[in-house]
Structure 1
Amino acid sequence: MLDIKDRKWKDFFIEEIATINSGRDIYEAERKKGNNPYVSSSSVNNGICHFVSNENATMEAGCISVNRNGSVGYAFYHPYKALYSNDCRKLRLKYPNKYVAIFITTQITAQRGKYSYGYKMGTGRLKRQKIMLPIDKNGNPDYAFMEQYIKEREKQIIQKYISYIGKNAEKSVGGGGGGFSD
């Protein structure tokens, strides 16, 4: 079991590990209902505020959104294609990896307390925002550790869920053999 306490850590500017792009607003009058997630500045639903059929240059999968307005400082990973509003910033990791992205979103979100509606996390501030990351023997971000750490946590959550489902399935069929009959 990997432990974050066993690692050396170092602070990195976000611009060292990701490119940062602005989103583009799709105003209410322009929005057409559809299936494309439109990420804005919500702290819930992975930041998704609408589903639209619109498309623009911000559409991309495998990115992190960081709220710069509204629920400032929340970060979410989007493995699916999505559109990004100007109320968030889209980060493209220089080391693109789902598990690393999830690790980094937690580190970014941990900084949200210093931001507010009056002190937004705009592009300039986001570039210079430091986050702590585990490092390898050369002092670089230890992406392999981040990936394995998140994979272990994911496996723990899945095992916990399977156990919960198994216990409740037994209860729902009377606690007997746990199977279904033909």
Structure 2
Amino acid sequence: MQLTHYIPPLNFSPVIAADVSLYRSGYPMPINYSFIRDQLNLQTIIYVGDKTDLSEEYVTFLREQGIRFHRIEMESCREEHIQERIEEVLKLVLNVNNFPILIHSNKGKHRVGVIVGIIRKLLQGWSISGIYQEYGLFSGGMKDEVDLEFITMFETDIAVEKDKLPRFAKIYKPIRGD
């Protein structure tokens, strides 16, 4: 009998593990593929980052596993059009048909930290101090004050379909289908 060793991606962690599963991490490497395949059963991967070329191995893995891949170009929260890019991610997260979802950046620190912080704030009602603490854990204590201020100030009124809204999104208000 051969034992399989599962190695999660850098900075991997569940974000939500209720009626749906949402995960965060750094960029998956080939050594992580068996973990992703056998343990997560992903439907969707959202990459928030600045890499334009995916490795051939990664593209093949995504295709073989039937995982939908969304690349949302994002360097930092300082860039132009960042509001629209984060709203793209939120629309994917606010559709139960996309779950389970993995959101990753290159290292799973700052960009994913901003996205997860906004999810915690808008969809789960976390306190700002709890969001800052989690951000600090994943960034290795290297808090980017601009990121934290951006999370604190971020607001949106994107419309989503009520019947596709995951149950964990208890406090999100702007929906269609009321």
Coarse TM-score class (shorter-chain normalised): under 0.3
Structure holding more strand per residue: 1
| TM-score using structure 2 length | 0.23
Structure holding more helix per residue: 2
Flag the structure with larger Rg. Answer: 1
